[in-house]
């Protein structure tokens, strides 16, 4: 196994993984009753047959929490062991507080820092790379990386060219430091902001704050130049794979599986042709999930792990593209098998108790803050 190109000898392994999806499925034939489309067109042009859609109570944070709890169960660690939580998302709960902070509070991860990562569909690859390098540097040891999206809430449900593509869901990885070679080896992160207009949500930020006009003109939903994004995606997916593999001193022959962003089966087929690789090396599940943006790679990987396609020591390339424009790839040697501790059931019960304590602690902190504010808030400000 080659060492890390950065010369460090601390490795960042994926030791926990989990997913969550909303309860409701929206099929192509149901969609065809909402907009002028049909199952045949959607399957032929995208490979998508259905997607999960969040209800009013299912949010980016609630799906992220569910995926995170599943990942902590697989890793069999306590939320108190987390040093950092990164949430890759384009559909955060708010501009601020970060969705990562809300998830930190729900988990009761009292020693963890938390921030959101905004790189659209490439967000999970960016977050994995950052998490891996912080762990390799020795600064911290345990990071929870979550990709969570509720894109259905920013889709224009009257625009057939976009609304058929997207779905909701979340996936999470726990990364931990180890002296054992493997885990995250190399990453390639790229951006070309000149293509920002090709894929965007025009309003709601500082450039075009929410107003009566932006609401009337439906500017808070996804707009996309599908053909241009398609052309860009087919080019960069193959380039990023080649670069990340060569940075690790490997060749494509060393790679067992590619886990691509699940935007469109035709984009993945084009990348496979460009790389001269068989399509069965590419993990694909967009037929059941649609494009879940930053959640799509962990959702695909977790399925492949669950059905035993991924084996220890397999070399995997995670590769994604998205708004920004952004693209990137990360090369991972899958090294750690699922925890088999005989105390796992007890640990799980303990984690569930910790989540309940976290809720109570959060409620108490809110109440205490309110009472303190009412009693002394004015006085302290007068003193200053």
| Residues identified as active-site | 121, 261, 291
Distance in angstroms between the alpha carbons of the first and the last residue of the chain: 60
Measured from the CB atom, the residue of 22 and 324 that comes closer to ligand ACO is 324
Give least dist CB 230 to ligand ACO, A.
4
Give least dist CB 241 to ligand ACO, A.
17
Measured from the CB atom, the residue of 263 and 310 that comes closer to ligand ACO is 263
> Which residues have C-beta within 8 Å of that of residue 218, sequence separation ≥ 6?
156, 158
Distance CA 362, CA 358 (A): 6
Distance CA 237, CA 272 (A): 9
Give least dist CB 163 to ligand ACO, A.
8
Residue 346 has a CB neighbour count (10 Å cut-off) of 10
Give least dist CB 379 to ligand ACO, A.
49
The dihedral formed by the CA atoms of 237, 171, 280 and 37, expressed in degrees to the nearest 10: -80
Measured from the CB atom, the residue of 111 and 227 that comes closer to ligand ACO is 227
SS3 per-residue string spanning 15-35: EEEEEECCCEEEEHHHHCCCC
Give least dist CB 226 to ligand ACO, A.
3
Angle at 143 between CA 139 and CA 149, to 5 degrees: 140
> Which residues have C-beta within 8 Å of that of residue 106, sequence separation ≥ 6?
61, 65, 355, 358, 359, 362
Residues of the shown chain interacting with ligand ACO in the complex, contacts defined by CB under 6 A:
37, 41-42, 45-46, 120-121, 160-161, 164, 199, 224, 226-227, 229-230, 233, 263-264, 291, 293, 322-323
Residue 5 backbone phi and psi in degrees, to 5? -65, -25
State which residue has the least CB distance to ligand ACO: 322
In the chain, which residue ranges form alpha helices assigned H by DSSP? 28-31, 39-46, 60-75, 99-107, 123-137, 160-163, 212-216, 226-247, 265-275, 286-289, 296-306, 344-372, 378-383
Measured from the CB atom, the residue of 120 and 128 that comes closer to ligand ACO is 120
Q: Which residue has the tokens 């965007």?
A: 200
Distance CA 107, CA 88 (A): 17
Q: Are 313 and 49 in contact (CB under 8 A)?
A: no
Measured from the CB atom, the residue of 199 and 305 that comes closer to ligand ACO is 199
Give least dist CB 225 to ligand ACO, A.
8
SS3 per-residue string spanning 61-100: HHHHHHHHHHHHHHHCCCHHHCCEEEEECCCCCCCCCCHH
Alpha carbons within 13 angstroms on the beta-carbon side of residue 180 total: 11
Measured from the CB atom, the residue of 37 and 62 that comes closer to ligand ACO is 37
Measured from the CB atom, the residue of 92 and 322 that comes closer to ligand ACO is 322
Give least dist CB 193 to ligand ACO, A.
14
């Amino acid at each position: 196994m080659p060492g890390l190109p950065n010369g460090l000898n601390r490795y960042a392994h994926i030791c926990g993984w989990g997913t969550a999806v909303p309860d409701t499925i929206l099929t192509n034939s149901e969609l065809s009753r909402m907009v002028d489309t049909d199952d045949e067109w959607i399957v032929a042009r995208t490979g998508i047959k259905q997607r999960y859609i969040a209800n009013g109570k299912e949010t980016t944070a609630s799906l992220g929490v569910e995926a995170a709890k599943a990942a902590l169960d697989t890793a069999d660690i306590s939320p108190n062991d987390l040093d950092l939580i990164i949430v890759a998302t384009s559909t955060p709960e708010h501009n601020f507080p970060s969705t990562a902070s809300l998830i930190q509070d729900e988990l009761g991860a009292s020693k963890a820092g938390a921030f959101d990562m905004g790189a659209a569909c490439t967000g999970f690859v960016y977050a994995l790379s950052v998490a891996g390098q912080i762990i390799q540097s020795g600064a911290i040891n345990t990071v929870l990386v979550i990709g969570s999206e509720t894109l259905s809430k920013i889709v224009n449900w009257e625009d057939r060219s976009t609304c058929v593509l997207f779905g909701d869901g979340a996936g999470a990885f726990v990364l931990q430091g180890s002296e054992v070679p493997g885990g995250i080896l190399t990453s390639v992160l790229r951006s070309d902001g000149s293509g920002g207009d090709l894929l965007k949500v025009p309003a709601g930020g500082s450039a075009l704050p929410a107003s009566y006009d932006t609401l009337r003109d439906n500017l808070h939903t996804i707009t996309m130049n599908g053909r241009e994004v398609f052309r860009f995606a087919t080019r960069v997916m193959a380039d990023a794979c080649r670069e990340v593999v060569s940075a690790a001193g490997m060749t494509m022959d060393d790679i067992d599986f590619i886990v691509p962003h699940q935007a469109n089966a035709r984009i993945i087929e084009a990348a496979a042709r460009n790389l001269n690789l068989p399509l069965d090396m590419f993990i694909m599940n967009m037929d059941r999930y649609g494009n879940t943006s930053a959640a799509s790679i962990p959702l695909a990987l977790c399925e492949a792990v669950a059905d035993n396609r991924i084996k220890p020591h397999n070399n995997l390339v995670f590769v994604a593209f998205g708004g920004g424009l952004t693209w990137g790839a990360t090369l991972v040697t899958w090294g750690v098998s699922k925890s088999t501790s005989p105390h796992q059931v007890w640990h799980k019960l303990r984690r569930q108790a910790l989540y309940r304590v976290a809720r109570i602690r959060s409620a108490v902190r809110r109440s205490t803050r309110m009472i303190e504010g009412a009693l002394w808030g004015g006085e302290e400000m007068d003193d200053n």
